[in-house]
A and B are shown apart, each in its own frame.
Chain A
Amino acid sequence: MNVLVVLAAILFLLMTLIGGNKGIRSFIALFFNFGVIIITTLFMTVPGLNPIILTLIACVIISCINLFFINKINIKTKTAFISSIISTSLLLLFIFFITDHAKIQGFGEEEIDELSMFSLYIGVDFIKLAASVIVMSTIGAITDAAISISSPMREIHYHNPDISRKNLYQAGMKIGRDILGTSTNTLFFAFFGGYLALLIWFKDLSYSMGEVVNSKIFSAEMITILCAGIGLTIVIPITSWITAVFLVKKR
């Protein structure tokens, strides 16, 4: 039996047992999202298509899956959706500026030996691709943060319909701050886990501090972690504000 099939079967079983219908939907969403990543990647190989635009389209579809398919279409998921898209676009601009300057695109000298049989002149802009990768790694966490803020805000508004827009916004910010620590931790550890081999490599080959900091791979991964943190943080005021505006205007 294939490891992946067995693990997927166990996950499906657990999600169905614990989550019921919603668990099954969440499991299907995993597959859809994986499909979106692969299809986006395939589109990125087409010359002339801008990876950044493709990433934005992919983020819209992924947010739809994460918010509207797993949950239902309602005011909570709608404001979370708008906030996710705005945060992602802002983040993408910032990251593109950074990847353009820091030149962290493509492959590092540590990786290039394994890729020696490949043609590297493939007509795909790797600088834009680097920005896309960082945003795609974060989009799951951004939609999660957005729904975690907009959903309790809706409850607060429901229980206190007379709440002012400003107070509702502040309540949202408070909720956001409470989840900030754990959601940044989720991403940090996910990335740390992925980079473990790299860290051992740097230590084993006794790279100096200066070599580590300036190497393409290390700085790319540090920038990914930090930008993920920035993205998760800016989604808090954006979601609080948009949800407050939508809910209080509706009255």
Chain B
Amino acid sequence: MDIFKDKLKTVTYKQLLFYLIVVLCCAGSIIFVHNNHSYYDRPIAQVIESELIDRTEFQDSMNNEDNLFTQHIKAEIKNGYEKGKIVELHNEFSLSKAYDFEFTVGDEVFINLEDNPKETDNLTGTIADVKRDKYLIVVAWVFIFTLLIVGRKQGLFSILSLAINAMLISYALDIYLAHSHISLLLICGIAAILFTVLSLLLVNGLNEKTYAAIISTLLGTFLSLLITYLVLLLTSERGLRFEELQFITRPYQMVFLAGLFLGSLGAVMDVAITMSSSIFGLYEENKRISIKDLWKSGMEVGKDIMGTMTNILLFAYVSGSIPVLILYFKNQYPLGLTLSLNLSLEIARALAGGIGIVLTIPIGVYITIFFVTKKRAKI
């Protein structure tokens, strides 16, 4: 209890005000997403009664066993002309729920109302989708509070950096879509420079460490993109299955390369800042340390982080494909074909990102030592 009191004493009014505002925003936004039905054009209904009316065992042509259920749902319409009326819905779902849902009382869904000739009968309709905004906002607030409580100021900066970067990406894409003759890669290149400068300044402040990290990040990512581009050119893209690239409305090579470029940027920034902080740290501890020692220690740090950093990208890229892999396996596709059909682009991204990470280690050491020498010359 005493510790808690001590902590309270150290909290300034400014901080108190800040937390108050955050809590108010949180409460406000959660109340809003629970009551925003009238802002949607599509009819929304909340399940008030659900009854399982049928269950059949099902075996598909590949001998996969599943169960199919039929649900009869009564739901209250929350918006539009029919607000407050009861609608009867019919829902089918499976045990797997790969493309269907089981609804329970309280769930909110978007529905399509069916024309009903007889005025007296209950309304009927079909379920179109789930209203997910209220869960999204809960996760967002858990994220914000976890980062603020654990990370304090740095946590706040991480949240800001995520928000700013997300807006920048969205804005960059708007520019691209409005002016399709400008290459997506060029736009992403300019955006990448902005991302790097902004994120590293936010994370690390205005100082030589940050400048060194910014330059090494940019050199590292551009060099790895160049290598990847040359490899694609020389091998004429053999082994890449662009048809697995989903959601394609634009030239796919460009979208792939731009995604690869952005994807490795964060990891390369991480490596660059680690290299520059550790080398500057060594220099601060012992101002007369020799260039040779700095180089050696810097490379040691690089060796330590190389393995885990490349693995971060591998997991972030490949894991997303697990559901589709399972679908292929269960539909009796052979292992090799499934992997090459679904993972070639993810693995290419992870490998190219890995090349960026590893290249940034010597680049980071070199650039940071350059800044250290400059600083030393000034004294």
Contacts and interface: CB of A to CB of B under 8 A. Distances in A.
Contact of A216 (B129, B162, B195): B129
Given A7-B231, A45-B329, A126-B96, A121 B58 contact: yes
Interface string A115-156: 100111111111101101100111111011001100100000
A26 B335 CA distance: 25
A158 interface: no
A198 B255 CA distance: 10
Contacts of A23: 303, 306, 358
Given A229-B147, A229-B162, A233-B146, A137 B316 contact: yes
Contacts of B158: 180-181, 184-185, 229
Contacts of A195: 259
A140 B132 contact: no
A26 B306 contact: yes
Given A30-B314, A182-B270, A189-B267, A200 B247 contact: yes
Contacts of A105: 97-98
Given A122-B327, A193-B262, A233 B147 contact: yes
From A10, A102, A185, name the one whose CB has the most chain B CB atoms within 10 angstroms.
A185
B291 interface: no
B90 interface: no
B211 interface: no
B315 A139 contact: yes
Interface in B286-321: 299, 302-320
Contacts of B339: 38
B245 interface: yes
Question: Interface on chain B toward A: helix, strand, loop, or mixed SS?
Answer: helix
B270 A185 contact: yes
Contacts of A160: none
Given A6-B231, A200-B250, A137 B315 contact: yes
A192 B362 CA distance: 26
Interface string A14-34: 110011101101100110011
B143 A122 contact: no
A205 B320 CA distance: 23
Contact of B203 (A15, A71, A114, A181): A181
Contact of A104 (B132, B140, B235): B132
Nearest to B256: A197
A210 to B, nearest CB: 5
Given A125-B95, A190-B313, A234-B150, A102 B307 contact: no
B265 A4 contact: no
Interface string A65-96: 01000110000000000000000000000100
Given A107-B323, A121-B68, A136-B319, A144 B96 contact: no
The interface centre, meaning the residue of A38, A41, A98 with most chain B CB atoms within 10 A of its CB, is: A41
A62 B316 CA distance: 14
B96 A20 contact: no
B322 to A, nearest CB: 5
A140 B308 CA distance: 7
Contact of B269 (A10, A124, A176, A182): A182
Nearest to B243: A114
B64 A233 contact: no
Nearest to B359: A14
Nearest to A213: B133
B270 A183 contact: yes
Contacts of A167: none
A115 to B, nearest CB: 7
B239 interface: yes
B227 A144 contact: no
B234 to A, nearest CB: 8
Contact of B323 (A70, A130, A177, A230): A130
B263 A205 contact: no
Among B129, B131, B161, B351, which residue has the most Cβ atoms of chain A within 10 A? B351
Nearest to A185: B266
B274 to A, nearest CB: 7
A93 to B, nearest CB: 13
A203 B174 contact: yes
Interface stretch (B18-26, B118-126, B342-350): B342-350
B142 interface: yes
Given A119-B331, A213-B133, A37 B351 contact: no
Given A26-B306, A214-B130, A140 B143 contact: no
A98 B238 contact: no
A66 B307 CA distance: 8
Contacts of B41: 210
**In the complex, the 5 A-B pairs of residues with the closest C-beta atoms, listed nearest first:** A193-B263, A189-B266, A26-B307, A181-B203, A2-B239
12 contacts: A7-B351, A30-B310, A125-B97, A144-B308, A186-B309, A189-B165, A189-B195, A210-B42, A213-B136, A214-B132, A224-B320, A236-B151
Interface of A: 1-8, 10-11, 14-15, 18-20, 22-23, 25-26, 29-30, 33-34, 37-38, 40-42, 44-45, 47, 62, 66, 70-71, 94, 98, 101-107, 109-112, 114-115, 118-127, 129-130, 132-133, 136-141, 143-144, 147-148, 151, 173, 176-178, 180-201, 203-205, 210, 213-216, 219, 222-230, 233-234, 236-237
Interface of B: 39-42, 58, 60-62, 64-66, 68, 94-99, 101, 110, 129-133, 135-136, 138-140, 142-143, 146-147, 150-155, 157-158, 161-162, 165-166, 169-170, 173-174, 176-177, 195, 199, 202-204, 227-228, 231-232, 234-235, 237-240, 245-250, 255-256, 258-267, 269-270, 273-274, 299, 302-320, 322-331, 335, 339, 344, 346-355, 358-359, 361-362
